[in-house]
Amino acid sequence: MNHVNATGSDIRFMSSTLAPAGFTQETFDAFMATREEPSWLVDLRQSAWSRFNELAMPSGREEEWMRTDIRMLKLSQYSLSTEVAAIETPQGLLAEGVELGGRTVSVDSHTTESELADRLADQGVLFGSLDTLVAEHGDKLRPYIERKLVDPLYDKFSALNSACWSGGNLLFVPQGVQVEEPLHCLSVLSDGGVDLGKTLVILEQGAEATLLAETASVGAESGGLHCGSIELIVERGARLRYVNLQNWSHRVWHFAHQMGHVGAGGKLQWTIGALGSRLAKVNQRVALTGSDAEAQVNGVMFTQGKQHLCYNTHQHHQAPYCQSDLLYKSALQDHSRTVWRGMIKVDNAAQRTNAYQRNDNLMLAPTARADSIPGLEIEADDVRCTHGSTSGRVDDEQLFYAMTRGYTRQEAVRMIVTGFFQQVFDRITIESVREALGEAIGQRVQQL
């Protein structure tokens, strides 16, 4: 009896000195106390926090979660960190040999490094931690944040991010400014860490920029939770190339809500690389809000082990004469699984829409599984919408053919996998990104 009591008091002692586990009211209050933010943002956080507490965890009964089982996720194991973990920052993949106009590094969504070329700053470009820049330019950024491209009330994860985001990345390019050198953001997760990053990109009318964003874990076996949001605002005639590579370790939970709005005559090229995470559930949406807007969406996925990656894509045509073109390609190894659900939605006003979506899967093991679920929802009557999906495997006859040309079996598999991704690589206009993805995939291909 004495022994049990002693243990009990130990636990009480521990919990009073360590941060309380889970996303509790105490942690939220403590988090809010550390922030000095304008009241409109505090209100926004408070309402999202209420929503987070009201909402249940998504369940397999919901259409969107039918194929994605998160019962093993225990939010109580994670918490808001108010201090930066002291870790060695891993190297990113995307910026190799690229002359950058600016860069940021964050650890568990605390920005630790931030640089921007003077000549860009002089032109009014804002780039760096969203935290810091909101404090400095709150009035300018308020309307964009209040547009809520990602709906804070959509689900438990969007609510959590809206309530508790920190660090984050902002890129603001003023009207007519063309940023030639790419900007780079690296988000790192410590072992067991939590990343609640928020990315906000605003290109004013006629502006141009390229942003390379990527994520990494501190170690190959380190776990953690990422619950993020990305909002891209491409105004009239602006052009954004945005690359988003998630390369978390295979023990990280990855939840993300992402939305790009493209105004009249604007262009968005959005490339997603999905290599990491234990389980990913990503909603990637683009909306074409003004006439003659264009969005090109490229997805490159490679899964292995027991990874489960679920990407819901949405192409929303709200205005006439717009184009959207989505191509997702996945190669799957081992017992991994991908789910792609794609939707093209064409509003009544969006006449003369030209929309395309396609998902190809290359099965590298009979134990892997890929679900492809394309969908169309069309209210306009003068549109061109096409969709398709394929699933294939590496053919023994292809392997033999290559071997009769001096290839080893392994080289042949790698070549066939690279060839499979070529169609999507051909669309990616940034060489360092093509090379990084090609190399990362090549390294992952195992002996068949």
Partner 1 sequence: MAETLKITDLHVAVEGKPILRGVNLTINRGETHALMGPNGSGKSTLGFAVMGHPGYEITSGSISLNGEEIAEWDATQRSRAGIFMAFQRPMAIPGVKLADFLRHATTNVRNPERREGAELIPMRQFRKELTEKMEHLRMDTEFARRYVNDGFSGGEMKRAEILQMAMLRPKFAILDETDSGLDVDAVKLASESIAEIGGDQMGILIITHHDKLLERNAPDFTHVMLGGRIVETGGIELATELYTEGYDRIRAAYPEAAEAEQEMVGKEVEAV
Name residues whose C-beta falls within 8 Å of residue 124's C-beta, 6 or more positions apart in sequence: 174, 177
420 near partner 1, rule: CB under 8 A: yes
409 near partner 1, rule: CB under 8 A: yes
The distance of closest approach from Cβ of residue 417 to partner 1 in the complex, given in angstroms and rounded to an integer, is 9
Using the rule CB under 8 A, give the single segment among 159-167, 173-181, 263-271, 395-403 that binds partner 1: 395-403
By CB under 8 A, name the one of 422, 429, 431, 446 that touches partner 1: 422
351 near partner 1, rule: CB under 8 A: no
Using the rule CB under 8 A, give the single segment among 64-72, 103-111, 216-224, 405-413 that binds partner 1: 405-413
328 near partner 1, rule: CB under 8 A: no
76 to 19, 32, 140, 167, 441: CA distances (angstroms): 12, 19, 36, 22, 34
The distance of closest approach from Cβ of residue 404 to partner 1 in the complex, given in angstroms and rounded to an integer, is 5
By CB under 8 A, name the one of 42, 57, 349, 403 that touches partner 1: 403
The distance of closest approach from Cβ of residue 406 to partner 1 in the complex, given in angstroms and rounded to an integer, is 3
Using the rule CB under 8 A, give the single segment among 149-157, 291-299, 310-318, 415-423 that binds partner 1: 415-423
Considering the complex, state which of residue 8 and residue 392 has its C-beta at the smaller distance from partner 1: 392
Query: Do the beta carbons of residue 333 and residue 349 sit within 8 Å?
Result: no
Angle between helices 156-164 and 25-33 (to 10 degrees): 30
The distance of closest approach from Cβ of residue 400 to partner 1 in the complex, given in angstroms and rounded to an integer, is 6
Using the rule CB under 8 A, give the single segment among 14-22, 150-158, 184-192, 409-417 that binds partner 1: 409-417
Indicate left, alpha or beta for 22 from its phi (over 0: left) and psi (-120 to 50: alpha): left
445 near partner 1, rule: CB under 8 A: no
400 near partner 1, rule: CB under 8 A: yes
Counted residue by residue, the chain has a size of 448
The residue to which tokens 């106390």 are assigned = 33
447 near partner 1, rule: CB under 8 A: no
Query: Do the beta carbons of residue 343 and residue 375 sit within 8 Å?
Result: yes
Residue of 380, 318, 313 lying closest to 343 (CA atoms): 313
By CB under 8 A, name the one of 84, 135, 378, 415 that touches partner 1: 415
DSSP string, 286-338: EEE-STT-EEEEEEEEEE-TT-EEEEEEEEEE-STT-EEEEEEEEEE-TT-EE
Our measurement of the distance from residue 21's CA atom to the centroid of its chain's CA atoms, rounded to an integer in Å, reads: 26
The distance of closest approach from Cβ of residue 440 to partner 1 in the complex, given in angstroms and rounded to an integer, is 15
Using the rule CB under 8 A, give the single segment among 8-16, 199-207, 229-237, 402-410 that binds partner 1: 402-410
DSSP string, 42-54: HHHHHHHHHHHHH
By CB under 8 A, name the one of 411, 430, 435, 448 that touches partner 1: 411
Considering the complex, state which of residue 298 and residue 307 has its C-beta at the smaller distance from partner 1: 298
Considering the complex, state which of residue 79 and residue 359 has its C-beta at the smaller distance from partner 1: 359
The distance of closest approach from Cβ of residue 425 to partner 1 in the complex, given in angstroms and rounded to an integer, is 8
Considering the complex, state which of residue 40 and residue 400 has its C-beta at the smaller distance from partner 1: 400
By CB under 8 A, name the one of 9, 401, 429, 446 that touches partner 1: 401
Using the rule CB under 8 A, give the single segment among 49-57, 231-239, 420-428, 431-439 that binds partner 1: 420-428
Backbone angles phi, psi at 431, to 5 degrees: -60, -45
DSSP string, 340-356: EEEEEEE-TT-TT-EEE
408 near partner 1, rule: CB under 8 A: yes
The distance of closest approach from Cβ of residue 298 to partner 1 in the complex, given in angstroms and rounded to an integer, is 14
The distance of closest approach from Cβ of residue 358 to partner 1 in the complex, given in angstroms and rounded to an integer, is 14
The distance of closest approach from Cβ of residue 402 to partner 1 in the complex, given in angstroms and rounded to an integer, is 7
386 near partner 1, rule: CB under 8 A: no
Considering the complex, state which of residue 58 and residue 442 has its C-beta at the smaller distance from partner 1: 442
423 near partner 1, rule: CB under 8 A: yes
Considering the complex, state which of residue 25 and residue 422 has its C-beta at the smaller distance from partner 1: 422
What residues make contact with partner 1 under the rule CB under 8 A?
A: 395-398, 400-411, 415-416, 418-423
